Amino acid sequence: MNWRLIIIAGIAILLSGTLYADKPHDKTLPFHGTLSGYLIAFNEDLGAIDDRCNPPAGQVAWAIASFEGWGDVTHMGWSYGYFDHCSYRPENGPPIGEYGEGVGRIVADNGDVLTATYTGGTSIPQPPMFYFMDYFTFDSGGDGRFNIASGTGVDVGSLNMADGAFTIEMTGVISYGKK
């Protein structure tokens, strides 16, 4: 057997392993999380709304809603989540309906942070309950093992306006790794 060929093959295997570790997006994993918590506030400051929100045609932004919760998240364990988004309503209607320009941060117990954006939100009111669904995308820019992250999914949940309690279930895929 040619020893040069063995050395070249060994170097190729080592390099391919290094390249795989440097490219976390090569492997997509299932993602699931369920968090429960509370509505923190509806920020109705017109300046903050104008700076952030871009409502779809026929809608107006009436508030920036913020939520926080805790729960079990794959790849993270027990985690804290903070989410906020622009809330829309029909131009001549009650403050219900769609939402968008959402931003989320999920923090694992060890401090690693996963960031996401969410769009296309729809809420269905059945007072005092509101049921909702939207699409999320993981973004690079988190911390720890999530500073390079990608993936997508859908979340569904409910908000009880009587006490502000909410639950969200996120399902999708994720790829992540350090730079």
Greater confidence (6 vs 97) lies with: 97
> What's the confidence (pLDDT) of residue 157?
96
**Mean of the per-residue pLDDT values of the chain:** 86
Task: Tell whether the model's pLDDT for residue 24 goes beyond 80.
Answer: no
Instruction: Of 4-8, 22-26, 124-128, give the range with the top mean pLDDT.
Output: 124-128
pLDDT in tens, 44-70: 999 999 999 999 888 999 999 999 999
Q: What is the pLDDT confidence band of residue 179, given thresholds at 50, 70 and 90?
A: low
Residue 162: the pLDDT is 97
pLDDT more than 90, % of the chain: 72
74: pLDDT confidence band, cut at 50, 70 and 90? Answer: very high
Mean pLDDT of 1-24: 39
**Do 109 and 141 touch, CB atoms closer than 8 A?**
no
Task: Give me the architecture of the 27-177 domain, per CATH.
Answer: Beta Barrel (2.40)
Q: What is the pLDDT of residues 160-176, one digit of tens each?
A: 999 999 999 999 999 99
Q: How high is the pLDDT of residue 140?
A: 85
**Which two three-digit tokens encode residue 21?**
């570790």
Percent residues over pLDDT 70 in the chain: 83
Q: What are the boundaries of each domain within the chain?
A: 27-177
**Residues with Cβ within 8 Å of residue 172, at least 6 apart in sequence:** 30, 31, 136, 151, 152, 153, 154
165-177 and 29-43 strand pairing: antiparallel
